[in-house]
Structure 1
Amino acid sequence: MDDLRWPKEAFIHPEGENKEEVRQLAESIMDKVLDYASSVTEYPPLPKESDFEIPSISGEGVSNRELIHQIQELIDCSMNPNHPRYIGHMDSIPTFVSCLGELVSTFLNNNMLSLEMSPFLSRLEVHVLEVIGQMFGYNEQAGGVMVSGGTLANLEALAVARNQAFSVMENGLTEIKGKPVIFASDVCHASIQKACMLLGLGTSAVISVKTNDHSKLDVHDLELQIERAYDQGKRPFAIVATAGTTVTGNIDPIFDISQLADKYQLWLHVDAAYGGALVFSDLERHRLKGIAQADSITFNPQKWMYIAKTCAMVLFKDRQVLEGDFRISAPYMNEVAFTNLGEINVQGTRHADIVKLWLSLQYIGLNGYQQLIDQGYRFTKIFTEEVRKRSFLVLQAEPETNICCFRGEPAYLPKEKWDDWNRELQQQLLDASHTFVSLPLYRGERWLRAVLLNPFTSRSQIQDIFKQVDIFYDHYLESK
């Protein structure tokens, strides 16, 4: 390798010949990262306009100094979800140990495709998911896999449901008589439609069920839609319930839905990407009543468990159904009694996300996670009380998680101006106090959404946010 020209630190020498040079580069980069992470309040939640131009890919490679400079530019131009006033989305500040876990798994570089390529980590993933499955109420027959996000988790769950319902794993959909359909609320995540598109069913296969004033699926309308689908010659095969809707964070009545799923012999999938974390709270677990009846569950620890992205999973009540209706064997792998995870996963080659999840669970502990979730509820209550104190603000729904969705409806403006008022308030909060709330379009109107997820968001910061709201309300007409 003496005649090859690349940076001395491009790889770590297997016998440590460049250990000190690698250490110096690593320390320089870690200093930049730690300086940023420990001073995030000095950065705005949203990046400012930058004149930084993405450089062309170097022919000869850049120096260490230039590399570090580009890393700093990357930091400066990036979203800052670690800021305590970044409360607009389900993006959490990651636990430090999950960041270190990401570093460890990257260096190990095991491939979760098979036991041969990840002998310990494959078994670790199976073990941890069995434990989490039991927290949802599953027994020892349950199992699952980790995937890169909730979209893939929902896709795999519905693929298994489809394959089991119609026995199409081998021959496909062409011989099915009647259109296969599923049922989900009119505020379900967009990944449900995307899954049906990818599964060859088309987005029209998702029959939309009404939600009530609290953004929860209407069980009466669900049964009407099921009966109507049968009457029209369609082939219902699954119901999707949501535990933690994207905009309002509300939770569908899972137990009541499970009763209908059982009555009509339909697969029940619960998209608990966000709300699944409630199983870690003794006080709030009851909100997921009935989830143990689900045939499959999506859960994303990258959200309310503060694990660095990506970290998601899909769990199945009966692992044998997953293996029987989804497994594609990899003949190039050694045959062992252990099922290679890549054979029962929509992904093949896969990063070992289990490391950062496992280390965070070990380091923070179940009690620590319970405290984090319960704190989110306390601050959501404080935030919601501030909304209720103001006659010009209204709640979209009663919060069931740590999400408060609200908007201004000032009497001094006509109704058609309210969306603009809320849009300008969002910008004012960002400009005046570095507070970022999102502005989703929900049921034809613009709403402000606050996600009380960051453990460093404080009561005083919430009170300051509403002082800014009051100032904006009082002086809005003067500024026009």
Structure 2
Amino acid sequence: MNRYEAYLPILQSSLRELDDWRTQYGEEQLVGFTDTPQIIDIIQDLRERLEGNYPFHHPQYAGQMLKPPHPIAWIAYTMTMTVNPNNHALDGGPPTSEMEKEAVARLAEMVGYENPYLGHLTSGGTIANLEALFVAREIHPQKAIAASSKAHYTHRRMCRVLNTEFMEIPDTHDGGTDWNYLMENLDKVGTVVVTMGTTGLGDVEPLADLLPELNKHGVRVHVDAAYGGFFKIIGSQLPSSNHWASLNEADSIVIDPHKHGLQPYGCGSIMFKDPSVGSFFKHDSPYTYFTSDDLHLGEISLECSRAGASAAAFWATLQLFPLSEDGLGEYMTSTVTAAKLFYRLLERSDKFECFKEPELDILAYFPIPKDETLSSISKLSTALFQAGAEAAPKEGLHLSLYKLKAKEFNARFPEYKADDETVTLLRSVLMKPEHEPFVTKLAGRLHTLLDKL
């Protein structure tokens, strides 16, 4: 029995019961539901084309932030998708709108927000961050939105969309973030984006250290925890525990359930500590919001149509994996453990070096070249990246590449000659629970591939 076959009877039974519900409204003439040979052929062609994907399901895929959703999520999504509710208004999805509110309430509880707060799901982190920056602009229309060079590029891009000034906090001489520069320019800043889990190397920016001065100057704090947000569950176990403990002091927080929350794309979320910011989303519609006097989710969002299936999938997942240390926290602990073990295995090797110890579950490393130049590291890393992807299925290794500024690399490894402005390293995101028991094989395959090169 394969990994999905066991769940098919559950899905088939649920779809039949949903059809029983549909028939209560009387017989209807179904259009396009015939089991034609053409549909069978198309689906067969689709299946064959899907096999062109990289093995996101397998722990040998240790590249980008990609993994299949948990079975309970795709079952719930598939069931709900056949009804196709729209969570923009209660008219479009009464049950899934309630599920969304319940799921967001669990997220708010996890980050430490108390009622009343404002929040909803989004189609992803980009739109969630856009909403947070939109509110930031409305509150401080004449001031800049600041973020470090390590922040996701979406912040700079969304500031262009919003036609508001973006301030990049520069790097220090060793490649760190010059937070002193920010403090010296707070009179120009309305909102600071603090990233809790950068998508490059998984860095946790110093939220707790920044808050006192930012609060003193009335600067808003937006936390982009699209990638790292669920690490709050095990925050007390992490070196950055004081920063996770301060998460509830942020004015707004973005978290993506479609990353560590076991959900299919796209499922993001945005939460605001002060619910009065909902006034910035106020609008009127001549044909929605009539079925209830309660607040409709579309009235607190820039997005209109949103998949009710995403809310149902996330809600169902939270019933199985509550946001606690012995719930989803076990998954989060496993990913951190995998990254630390991989780090130790590579550090013991005489053929690889790690850029630094991982804070969360992302690790950057490089094969040691014969001549100590940045260009040699880049060439060898790229060759190893390609060799892993081209290896036989049961011997392969799917990684990602990470480009780093030469000055940041040389601050840690001054012995390498900076013959280029950047250096390309290997990068692994160890976000699947299957990674923990597999990292020894990952390290072994890395060494085997390098020896062949």
Tell whether the structures are fold-level matches, with TM greater than 0.5. Answer: yes
Aligned-residue offset at 1:466: 2.3
Give the Cα–Cα distance (whole angstroms) in 1 for the partners of residues 245 and 350 of structure 2: 34
Whether 1:126 aligns to 2:101 is yes
Does the C-alpha gap of structure 1 residues 104 and 475 become closer, same or farther in structure 2, counting only changes over 3 Å? closer
Q: Contact conserved, 1:164 with 1:325, CA < 8 A, in 2?
A: no
1:246 to 190, 199, 219: 199
Does the C-alpha gap of structure 1 residues 155 and 191 become closer, same or farther in structure 2, counting only changes over 3 Å? same
Whether 1:283 aligns to 2:237 is yes
Q: Contact conserved, 1:330 with 1:343, CA < 8 A, in 2?
A: no
Q: Which runs of 5+ in 2 are unaligned?
A: 1-18, 406-421
Give the Cα–Cα distance (whole angstroms) in 2 for the partners of residues 80 and 327 of structure 1: 44
Give the Cα–Cα distance (whole angstroms) in 2 for the partners of residues 406 and 138 of structure 1: 37
1:32-84 deviation digits (Å, cap 9, x = unpaired): xxxxxxxxxxxxxxxxxxxxxxxxxxxxx962331232222232223431122
* Map of 2:215 onto structure 1: 262
* Map of 1:457 onto structure 2: 435
Give the Cα–Cα distance (whole angstroms) in 2 for the partners of residues 434 and 473 of structure 1: 12
1:198 to 153, 157, 161: 161
Q: Contact conserved, 1:405 with 1:449, CA < 8 A, in 2?
A: yes
* Map of 1:5 onto structure 2: none
Aligned-residue offset at 1:346: 1.5
* Map of 1:324 onto structure 2: 279
Q: How does 1:39-438 map to 2 (within 5 A)?
A: 63-166=38-141, 180-201=143-164, 205-210=166-171, 217-224=177-184, 226-227=185-186, 230=187, 235-281=188-234, 283-284=237-238, 286=241, 288-321=244-277, 323-334=278-289, 336-352=292-308, 353-366=310-323, 367-412=326-371, 414-432=373-391, 433-438=395-400
Number of residue equivalences? 404
Q: Contact conserved, 2:87 with 2:96, CA < 8 A, in 1?
A: yes
Does the C-alpha gap of structure 1 residues 467 and 334 become closer, same or farther in structure 2, counting only changes over 3 Å? closer
Give the Cα–Cα distance (whole angstroms) in 2 for the partners of residues 183 and 243 of structure 1: 15
Give the Cα–Cα distance (whole angstroms) in 1 for the partners of residues 279 and 80 of structure 2: 30
* Map of 2:403 onto structure 1: 441
Indicate the larger mover: 274-283 or 151-160. 274-283
For 1:464, the aligned partner's letter is K
1:131-150 deviation digits (Å, cap 9, x = unpaired): 21121011112121111110
Does the C-alpha gap of structure 1 residues 342 and 422 become closer, same or farther in structure 2, counting only changes over 3 Å? same
Give the Cα–Cα distance (whole angstroms) in 1 for the partners of residues 403 and 365 of structure 2: 12
Give the Cα–Cα distance (whole angstroms) in 2 for the partners of residues 469 and 298 of structure 1: 35
Give the Cα–Cα distance (whole angstroms) in 2 for the partners of residues 435 and 206 of structure 1: 39
Does the C-alpha gap of structure 1 residues 307 and 250 become closer, same or farther in structure 2, counting only changes over 3 Å? same
Indicate the larger mover: 141-150 or 410-419. 410-419
* Map of 1:47 onto structure 2: none
Q: Which runs of 5+ in 1 are unaligned?
A: 1-11, 26-60, 167-175
Aligned-residue offset at 1:375: 0.9
For 1:208, the aligned partner's letter is I
* Map of 1:43 onto structure 2: none
Aligned-residue offset at 1:217: 4.0
Look up the SS of the partner of 1:63 in the other structure: helix
Give the Cα–Cα distance (whole angstroms) in 2 for the partners of residues 268 and 121 of structure 1: 31
Query: TM-score, with normalisation over the residues of structure 1?
Result: 0.78
Give the Cα–Cα distance (whole angstroms) in 1 for the partners of residues 38 and 448 of structure 2: 50
Aligned-residue offset at 1:385: 0.3
Please provide the CA RMSD for this pair.
Answer: 2.6
Aligned-residue offset at 1:392: 4.2
Aligned-residue offset at 1:421: 0.6
For 2:179, the aligned partner's letter is V
Aligned-residue offset at 1:107: 1.5
For 2:160, the aligned partner's letter is M
Identical counterparts, % of pairs: 25
Give the Cα–Cα distance (whole angstroms) in 2 for the partners of residues 404 and 372 of structure 1: 18
Aligned-residue offset at 1:289: 3.0
Give the Cα–Cα distance (whole angstroms) in 2 for the partners of residues 384 and 207 of structure 1: 31
* Map of 1:469 onto structure 2: 446
1:365-414 deviation digits (Å, cap 9, x = unpaired): 34231111111111111100012112443322321111111122324454
Does the C-alpha gap of structure 1 residues 329 and 350 become closer, same or farther in structure 2, counting only changes over 3 Å? same
1:82-117 deviation digits (Å, cap 9, x = unpaired): 122111011122100110111122122111111222
Q: Contact conserved, 2:390 with 2:396, CA < 8 A, in 1?
A: yes
Aligned-residue offset at 1:314: 0.5
Aligned-residue offset at 1:268: 0.5
Does the C-alpha gap of structure 1 residues 144 and 190 become closer, same or farther in structure 2, counting only changes over 3 Å? same
